[in-house]
């Protein structure tokens, strides 16, 4: 193959191979996935159970515990700490149990607030590891003062929150463990680029449609049509993959309150209408002019519906819209970036490739019709 002419095919093949393999096989960072109970009353002998995913102390992760513990690589849970957000309450566990078979920690607490000025509120849970690092779950437990709690105990330290400033971790090739998302965070490389690909293809299609309106060359119209059709394919795949992902994380196939989903539903309908419009006309020049005007017109509306409106809306489950932050600040760490950007480029290149196949078939078809 001619490298210069087919560069995007190489980009698609190489980038997607890298993204699919890396996205599937790189491990997830350890993280606390569940805490029980979620509501506590102060008192003695409180037992808290924490589930830890990919726990670093599992036997399968560490074959030779002794040798590893010398150079500080081995991470064992040392203690469990509860930290409040508001007026600083901080409680350390008296005793913890953990097993090498399950990523589970059971911590025993004696929590006596006494006369200290601590309100009932949410506490973040941290597991301090033997190498000084922390695993945390924010606002995981609601702690309430029990009625008989009048004498405080010694583990309380006021204003000691600064001890648990999670240090910036050294770069590791592993994906971040997010609450709710867990392993499915990898779908960022497969679901999200579908929409990037759709937007890219529809954008290029608008360009060709404009070009048709300017120069009235039917080749441009066929190109725009092919790009839109394959763009719609990417959009449909984006919808189905998104529904699958939403089912396991947001507990619904199609959370109807989400402005991004509503916008996409309207936007996809507009492009379905494009297909309908095109199929009703047989004169190629008339068809090309009308559908070009239509597609140039709906592309900015599509952008407004799926990018701008969700951003303005007060609530959306999608990152980057409503009250949630985009994937530039907290959501995307450096390992995710290493795969997300190639994924976007790779998927766009792949769908462009498919659109190119569709174009060549349409061109041949046109030639046969003209014979």
Partner 1 sequence: MKTSVSEQFDANAAELLAHHNLMNAVYGVLAIIFIGILFYLVRLDRKISRLEKNQS
Residues forming the site for partner 1 (CB under 8 A)? 20, 23-24, 33-34, 49, 51, 53, 97, 99, 101-104, 106, 181-184, 186-187, 190-191, 194, 230, 233, 236-237, 240-241, 244-245, 247-249, 350, 354, 357-358, 361, 364-365, 368
Q: By C-beta, is 108 or 311 nearer to partner 1?
A: 108
**Distance between first and last Cα of the chain:** 30
Q: What are the Cα distances from residue 335, in Å, to 5, 75, 178, 347?
A: 32, 22, 14, 19
Q: How far is the CB of 119 from partner 1 (least distance, A)?
A: 31
Q: By C-beta, is 175 or 208 nearer to partner 1?
A: 175
> Where in the chain does DSSP place strands (E)?
31-36, 39-41, 43-53, 77-84, 90-92, 95-98, 104-111, 121-129, 134-144
Give the span between the Cα atoms of 6 and 85, in whole angstroms.
Answer: 56
Question: How would you classify the pairing of strands 39-41 and 134-144?
Answer: parallel
Q: How far is the CB of 221 from partner 1 (least distance, A)?
A: 18
In a 3-state reduction of DSSP, which class is residue 81?
strand
* Max intra-chain CA distance, the chain: 97
Give the span between the Cα atoms of 100 and 77, in whole angstroms.
Answer: 11
Q: By C-beta, is 174 or 249 nearer to partner 1?
A: 249
Q: How far is the CB of 196 from partner 1 (least distance, A)?
A: 13
Q: How far is the CB of 120 from partner 1 (least distance, A)?
A: 27
Q: What are the Cα distances from residue 315, in Å, to 250, 259, 310, 368?
A: 14, 8, 8, 52
In a 3-state reduction of DSSP, which class is residue 13?
helix
Q: By C-beta, is 257 or 361 nearer to partner 1?
A: 361
Q: By C-beta, is 45 or 169 nearer to partner 1?
A: 45
Give the span between the Cα atoms of 55 and 37, in whole angstroms.
Answer: 20
Q: By C-beta, is 54 or 146 nearer to partner 1?
A: 54
Please, how many CA atoms are within 13 Å of residue 255, restricted to the half-sphere of its CB? Answer: 18
Q: How far is the CB of 357 from partner 1 (least distance, A)?
A: 6
Q: Hey, what are 12's tokens?
A: 């698609």
Q: How far is the CB of 356 from partner 1 (least distance, A)?
A: 11
Q: By C-beta, is 156 or 232 nearer to partner 1?
A: 232
Q: How far is the CB of 101 from partner 1 (least distance, A)?
A: 7
């Amino acid at each position: 193959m001619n490298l210069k002419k087919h560069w995007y095919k190489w980009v698609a093949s190489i980038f997607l191979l890298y993204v699919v393999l890396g996205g599937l096989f790189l491990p997830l960072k350890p993280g606390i996935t569940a805490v029980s109970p979620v509501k506590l009353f102060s008192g003695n002998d409180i037992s808290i159970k924490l589930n830890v995913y990919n726990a670093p102390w599992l036997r399968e992760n560490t074959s030779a515990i002794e040798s590893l513990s010398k150079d500080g690589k081995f991470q064992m849970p040392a203690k469990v700490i509860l930290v409040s957000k508001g007026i600083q309450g901080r409680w350390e566990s008296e005793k913890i149990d953990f097993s090498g078979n399950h990523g589970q920690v059971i911590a025993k607490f004696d929590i006596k607030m006494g006369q200290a000025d601590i309100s009932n509120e949410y506490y973040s849970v941290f597991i301090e590891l033997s190498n000084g690092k922390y695993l945390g779950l924010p606002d995981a437990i609601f702690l309430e003062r029990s009625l008989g709690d009048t004498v405080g105990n010694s583990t309380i330290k006021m204003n000691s929150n600064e001890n648990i400033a999670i240090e910036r971790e050294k770069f590791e090739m592993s994906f971040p463990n997010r609450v709710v998302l867990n392993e499915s965070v990898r779908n960022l490389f497969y679901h999200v680029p579908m929409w990037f690909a759709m937007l890219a293809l529809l954008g290029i299609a608008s360009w060709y449609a404009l070009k048709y309106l300017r120069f009235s060359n039917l080749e441009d119209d066929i190109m725009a049509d092919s790009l839109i059709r394959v763009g719609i394919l990417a959009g449909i795949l984006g919808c189905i993959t998104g529904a699958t992902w939403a089912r396991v994380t947001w507990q619904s196939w199609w959370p109807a309150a989400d402005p991004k989903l509503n916008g996409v539903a309207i936007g996809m309908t507009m492009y379905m209408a494009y297909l309908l419009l095109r199929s009703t006309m047989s004169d190629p020049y008339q068809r090309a002019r009308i559908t070009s005007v239509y597609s140039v017109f709906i592309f900015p509306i599509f952008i407004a519906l799926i990018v701008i409106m969700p951003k303005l809306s007060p609530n959306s489950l999608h990152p980057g819209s409503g009250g949630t932050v985009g994937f530039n600040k907290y959501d995307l760490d450096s390992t995710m970036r290493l795969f997300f950007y190639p994924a976007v480029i790779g998927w766009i290149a792949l769908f462009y490739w498919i659109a190119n196949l569709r174009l060549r078939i349409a061109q041949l078809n046109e030639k046969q019709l003209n014979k």
